[in-house]
Structures are given as structure tokens and as C-alpha cells.
Copies of this chain bind each other. A is one copy, B any other.
Amino acid sequence: MRPITSTLNFVDALRIILEAARPIARIETLLLLEADGRVVAREIVATGDVPPFDRAAMDGYAVIASETTSASASSPRTLRCVDHVFSGHMPRRGLGPGECMEIATGAPMPPGADAVVMVEETTRNGDVVRIAAAVTPRQNVGRRAADLAAGDAIVSPGQVLNPSRIGALAATGVTRVDVFSKPTVALLSTGDEIVQPGVALAPGQIYDINRFTLETIVTRHGGHAMAMGTVGDTIEALVERLDQARDEDIVIFSGGSSVGDRDLILDILERRGELLFRGIAVKPGKPTIFARLGQTPFFGMPGYPASCLSNAYMLVVPFLRKMARLPAWEPRTIDLPLARRVVSASGRHQFYTVRVANGRAEPAFKASGDITSMANADGFIEIPADVDIVEADSVVTVKFF
């Protein structure tokens, strides 16, 4: 057995991990509506003006503004309505002196007109329209290219697409967008005791949990999870699966990072890769490995499901988001008084789960081996390594899952 005799502090572990993250360079082309949340890889510029013509910004009457200067409610200006123009159609004629044209919001302005009087400021009787308010040139007119001019950058590399940016791309007729590919993440659960849900357990066996928590969190944070099932505790099996897995951008094993003599991962990593750290001063999640196999980053996560998932939040998520070129995760937070005193592990950065109830943060952590330590919690607080006790009623910052 090879005990973990020293641990790296959390801040250094995170620094080493982030330094090893190489943002993805591969690019793929997606249909616009498939691209929400994805990271733009190439600038897209407007190929035309938006809108492509001057248009009415209100329903009302297109006028020559200078003809309305004296108009008021008590002394309206009378104009003759010579036609109408609907949206989607071009005006059939222009305006001359004393004329106006009924116009719908979004319709192209007729030649000669330079303003729109809102319908609310008018009364009409047959062709005769009374204008009860003056308008200035360009008033209530949406000018050609006001939204986007041909050549304007709509999105730039590194921007994350969202509803409004997808709308701006649609505005210029864009149907496809080049985005950075998602990092692929090989997920393997090691351990002879691990069985996939769907089959009956034999004595001594348990169901795989980490594959499910890891796949879900990887998917949430911009990765493409490639579940590779379970692998037994033999050198041959581990080496074979590791060789398959290293074609992906990131490899995550869970289990096999403990200190038992069947914990062979470490031997393999030392022989075939570069071990960057093993054992970190966090709780839960101490027996965590980070290594490189050639250029492929490797996480050896603890087998215990609460440890595995909490280190996924603390270490894998920042790493993955940097690889995926996504901004750092910013969980929703709330500051609340702690319902009960918490005694923290001395010298270890603690990820401590809590439930929010009655306006307080109630400790929810049970044990590293219990997934219900997290499933029955709403989020977590972090307790730095140099803090041993957090008293009841201390205000803590809860980060929601």
C-alpha cells in the first residue's frame, strides 16, 4: 500500500490544473438554432444593412416634416392621404406638398417623406387627415442600417451565443455559425465492485454513481461526455482502456485513486505519463490525481461519490470551462446565517453541502461515500483550510448547484 503522505493545498492544485488547460482549437459549423450557449470561433460581419431601408417606426402617416411645424391639437395641419404602404411592400409613389401616406410600422418610407406622425396624433375623414402635432425630420423613422450596417461585426471570436446574438445573426440572414468544438471527455469508472444500473447486484457490488454525476456535470459545463463504462482492477484492463481514452481531450477516471494495493492507476501514470499531483488538502476529495498522458490531461477522481462530485465542481468544472473557452462558472449565491456550528477538517479546504431552509443554511453533509450528502443539499459553502470552526449564525455564502 502506498499511503498519501503529503497533500497539495487547494489553491495550488487549482493553479496547476488551470495552467494545464489548453483551450480547444477545433472548430465546427452549426445551424444557428443549435448554437445557443456555444463559443463563437470566427467573426461574422453583416453582409447587408439592417434594416435595409428607411422604415416607419410607428403606425401613422408618412409626412414631410417641414409641413407640420405649425401643427397642434388646437390648430391641426390638414394633409391629403394619397395612398397607404404596408409592411413587406414598397410604396407605389412618393409624397408631394400637402400630401401624406398611411404607413404601417416597419413599412418602407415613401420617397419625399422624412417623418411619421403617430396615428394617435391624427384624425381622418376620407382622404383628409388632420395632424395634431408637429414632427421633426426623421421622427418616428427607423433609418436604414440603424441596427447593423454592412461590414459591422455581429459576433466576435470568444463570445458566447445567447438569444439576442442569435437574433442579430438571423437579422442579416445568417443560417450557420462556426463555433469551437466541445472538449470530449472520456469517463471511466474503475473498480471490480462497480456495476451499471440496469442489472442486478451480486454480493459485494454497488451501482456506478460517478459515471452519472460526472456525465451530467460535464454536459452542463460545455463538455461532450464519452462514457466508456467500467473497467476492472487489472493492469492490462486499465492500460487498454487508458489507451482508448486518451484520444479524447480530457480523461477522467473515478475510483482507483485510493491507496489500496489494487490501486494501479498510479503505477501506470508514473510509467506512461507525468504525475502533476496526487492528494490534495480538500475535504471531501483528498485522494485526487492530476496527470498528463502525453498531451492528454488526466483526472483520477476519488471513487466515493460525494468526493468525486465535489471535486468535479471544484476542479473539473474550472478546467473544463477553460478548455471549452467558456467564462468561469458563477453559481448563483445567497448569504445566509448558518443553522448549526460546523467543525471543519483542520488544514483542508472544505466543500460543505447545505440545504436552504427557513432562511438559514442547514448542514447537509453526511459522509464522502454518501451521494445523499449532495443530493439532499441545495448547494455548498466553502471553508478555507485555515478555518477550523464556523459558528452557528455566522453568515455564509451558499453557492447553489
Residues of B within 8 A of A367 (CB): 57, 142, 146-147
Which residues of A, 355-395, contact B by the 8 Å Cβ criterion?
366-372, 374-375, 377
A194 at the interface (CB under 8 A from B): yes
CA distance A215 to B162 in the complex (A): 11
A205 at the interface (CB under 8 A from B): yes
CA distance A89 to B106 in the complex (A): 74
Residues of B within 8 A of A217 (CB): 163
Residues of B within 8 A of A167 (CB): 209-210, 212-213, 216, 305, 309, 371, 374-375
Residues 199-229 of chain A, each 1 if its beta carbon lies under 8 Å from chain B, else 0 = 0010111111111111111011000000000
Say which one of A71-79, A168-176, A291-299, A337-345 lies at the interface with B.
Answer: A168-176
CA distance A33 to B212 in the complex (A): 7
Residues of B within 8 A of A204 (CB): 53, 87-90, 107-108
Residues of B within 8 A of A171 (CB): 206-207, 209, 305, 371
Say which one of A13-21, A244-252, A258-266 lies at the interface with B.
Answer: A258-266
Which residues of A, 265-286, contact B by the 8 Å Cβ criterion?
none
CA distance A208 to B258 in the complex (A): 57
Which interface residue of A142, A164, A173 has the most chain B CB atoms within 10 A? A164
Which residues of A, 112-160, contact B by the 8 Å Cβ criterion?
119-120, 142, 146-148, 154-155
Residues of B within 8 A of A201 (CB): 48, 52, 173
A104 at the interface (CB under 8 A from B): yes
A67 at the interface (CB under 8 A from B): no
Given known contacts A106-B206, A120-B3, A305-B167, is B198 in contact with A173 (CB within 8 Å)? yes
> Which DSSP category, helix, strand, loop or mixed, fits chain A's interface?
loop
Contact A192 B89 (CB under 8 A): yes
Residues 90-109 of chain A, each 1 if its beta carbon lies under 8 Å from chain B, else 0 = 10000000000000111110
A8 at the interface (CB under 8 A from B): no
A83 at the interface (CB under 8 A from B): no
| Nearest-Cβ distance from residue A356 to partner chain B, whole angstroms | 12
Contact B191 A36 (CB under 8 A): no
Residue on B with the closest CB to A369? B142
Residues of B within 8 A of A193 (CB): 87-89, 106-107
Which residues of A, 27-86, contact B by the 8 Å Cβ criterion?
32-33, 36, 48, 50-53, 55, 57, 59, 86
Contact B366 A105 (CB under 8 A): no
Residues of B within 8 A of A211 (CB): 170
Contact A59 B258 (CB under 8 A): yes
CA distance A170 to B206 in the complex (A): 10
Choose among B119, B172, B303, B366 the residue that contacts A147 (Cβ–Cβ < 8 A): B366
Residues of B within 8 A of A374 (CB): 163-164, 167
Contact B375 A164 (CB under 8 A): yes
Contact A213 B88 (CB under 8 A): no
Residue on B with the closest CB to A332? B330
**Beyond A57-B368, A163-B212, 6 extra complex contacts between A and B, CB < 8 Å:** A53-B203, A105-B303, A107-B193, A163-B214, A167-B210, A175-B198
Show 12 A/B contacts (Cβ-Cβ < 8 Å), sorted by A: A36-B220, A59-B259, A87-B233, A89-B193, A90-B204, A104-B262, A105-B258, A164-B401, A167-B213, A170-B197, A170-B211, A171-B305
